[in-house]
Amino acid sequence: MTNDADAPTPPADAERVADRLHSASIHLLRLLRRRDDEGGVTAPHLSALSVLVFGGAKTLGELAAAEQVTPPSMTRIVRNLEADGLVERGTDFADRRVVRVRATEEGRRVMLAGRARRVAALAERLAKLESDEVALLEAAAALIERVARGNP
């Protein structure tokens, strides 16, 4: 495995890049996966919560779609978040089937604190990179996000 982070326009075959990106993502998440005992908030919870904090209230279905999980999975995530007082559910009066979910103030605080804590190990390592490398990673994150959804 030779390093081609700085190679001059390599033959960037989509499949090879896909494979590396896949592999890199697995290893990155394993680094961050460990449970956050202090806050008790796991990565998927934090992720859903941050959608609510930054994107405002959503229906359960919208949240499931945003997080790319099935509705039953999101039902469970929301139930746990509610039990911890981090989100609130309300019924939509126009359509009583839908469940509206929004972050509580505590949810907002916990999300911000938990995120900082969870991401600290990574941020620490990023701080050691050159600034152009960090910029590259930021651009890449946006691209990956776009690719993971349907390139919208």
The binder of 83, among a second copy, DNA, none, by C-beta within 5 to 8 A per type, is none
3-class SS of residue 58: strand
Question: x/- string (CB under 7 A) for DNA, residues 61-90?
Answer: xx-x---xxxxxxxxxxxxx--------x-
Torsion of CA 105, 108, 111, 117, to 10 degrees: -90
55 binds DNA (CB under 7 A): no
Q: Hey, what amino acid is at 84?
A: D
Q: How far is the CB of 138 from DNA (least distance, A)?
A: 23
By C-beta, is 59 or 73 nearer to a second copy? 73
DSSP H helices, 3-152, are: 14-33, 43-55, 60-67, 71-83, 105-126, 131-148
Nearest CA to 48 among 131, 1, 114? Answer: 114
Give contact residues for a second copy (rule: CB under 8 A): 1, 3-7, 9-10, 12, 14-32, 43-44, 47, 50, 54, 67-69, 115-116, 118-119, 122-129, 131-151
